[in-house]
Structure 1
């Protein structure tokens, strides 16, 4: 625990102003002002219940995927896109960046991934719900849709798997929206989430840190233009090959629709 004598505190803060003084005071906050784990769990559960109760959702996002070079430099690969879903079985995403331009279509029966740069697509039989789709993509295709774990019907249970430490860090502002700021620790990752205040506690920002990878790279996603119900921006959930794209095998997915730029090589 951080502490200072009253005289030393006065001496230090007297020479500081604004954010610097606030930072010092934050470091020496008494234990009773630190996070309440029960409140943090309750806030996260409220978000999960709210999202699960929405039949139709759409939002935009900005994401950063960090990679670490062999000499320890951290590089952030940025992308932006949209997500639209209509429970239980309709899902569409579009994501564009300097390293990927991929569109996902799911109509409850078939998953289609369209690589727009190479004009190729993959189709997989995937009968079931959006929850089933996310699990299949992660386990069989080694891919996760944007913000996938935040929009599942049981996101609380999924997010809390393996969590060993929980903190409620107060408030933050994301995109002009006041949010609750929560932090969680698990064996392999640390993650943080900002959840909007009010009767629509949607996720505003989510950051995952991979602790067991050298350099501790992060994945972050910031959500904007959150909409539900009649305000949802509708998308096509069934793929129509309007660009005469070439169909490829699932085995060629990694090489034809790579998540990394062509000049990047994966290390050990």
Structure 2
């Protein structure tokens, strides 16, 4: 076959493949996948019930946080960490990335945020459950926990709020684990979740797309090293100032402890 003929065939294959993909996406489904709404809801509810029933949980995670600049360039901010939960009222999480290295500790009465790079910490009196802590961090302190929606005891109700479309996209594999792949559309976001198949239906990946924001930036969290019950080593969740960190009187005085660093401004020019 001549070089010219080979290139012509390559071009034809590319065009046909692109056309086939366009047809699939336009139809709103994928070959071999079921768009069954009832099935998808059942799978999500099973995950929610399983998560709520676990008294001790630990896992590692990786997040990707897309931001869009004023000139429409997408930037991807990556971080990793670990989460440990002892229900109803114990929590510890770490997060490290290019802009932050922070540890969050909660013993049921006191919330502590430790900024490791600056060796500074702040505390606040927050009593109650892990659910209450997540709400306080998100709404009062603007310090959301990575993948917070997945850690609540009423995961199903929280995720299904304002959902207008549901799809079961069949199977996918995340980190070597076979998962059920589900897609949901809400009023302001699209989101997808991959849930491990079998008797431990934990979330393996969760992706949120902001459909009302220019360029549709995404936030994703991927979970690994999932452990529950007796596989989780019991720990003291109280804060130990092992590095002689300096205490400040306000959580807001701790800088660069979020996934979005301080040099970025929402809707601004930084």
| Superposition TM-score tier, normalisation by shorter sequence | 0.7 to 0.9
Deviations 1:104-129 (A, max 9, x none): 10001011111111111121111100
Please tell me whether the aligned partners of residues 84 and 234 of structure 1 are also in contact (alpha carbons under 8 angstroms). Answer: no
Distance 2:41 2:125 in 1: 36
Report the CA distance between 1:63 and its aligned residue: 0.5
Distance 1:74 1:254 in 2: 27
Count residues in correspondence: 253
Report the CA distance between 1:263 and its aligned residue: 4.0
- Identify the range of structure 1 (116-125 vs 231-240) with the bigger mean alpha-carbon deviation: 231-240
Other-structure match for 2:143: 143
Distance 1:221 1:98 in 2: 16
Distance 2:20 2:176 in 1: 21
Please tell me whether the aligned partners of residues 58 and 233 of structure 1 are also in contact (alpha carbons under 8 angstroms). Answer: no
Please tell me whether the aligned partners of residues 255 and 262 of structure 2 are also in contact (alpha carbons under 8 angstroms). Answer: no
Secondary structure of the 1:242 match is: coil
Other-structure match for 2:155: 155
Matches for 1:1-268 after TM superposition, within 5 Å: 26=24, 34-250=34-250, 252-253=252-253, 255=255, 257-268=257-268
RMSD between aligned residues: 2.6
Unaligned runs of 5+ in 1: 1-13
Report the CA distance between 1:26 and its aligned residue: 5.0
Report the CA distance between 1:265 and its aligned residue: 3.8
Report the CA distance between 1:261 and its aligned residue: 3.6
Distance 2:215 2:13 in 1: 35
Distance 1:180 1:158 in 2: 19
Please tell me whether the aligned partners of residues 84 and 235 of structure 1 are also in contact (alpha carbons under 8 angstroms). Answer: no
Give the TM-score taking structure 2 as reference length.
Answer: 0.85
Q: CA 1:205/1:22 → structure 2, altered by over 3 Å: closer, same or farther?
A: farther
- Identify the range of structure 1 (38-47 vs 20-29) with the bigger mean alpha-carbon deviation: 20-29
Please tell me whether the aligned partners of residues 92 and 236 of structure 1 are also in contact (alpha carbons under 8 angstroms). Answer: no
Unaligned runs of 5+ in 2: 1-11
Other-structure match for 1:9: none
Report the CA distance between 1:167 and its aligned residue: 0.8
Give the TM-score taking structure 1 as reference length.
Answer: 0.86
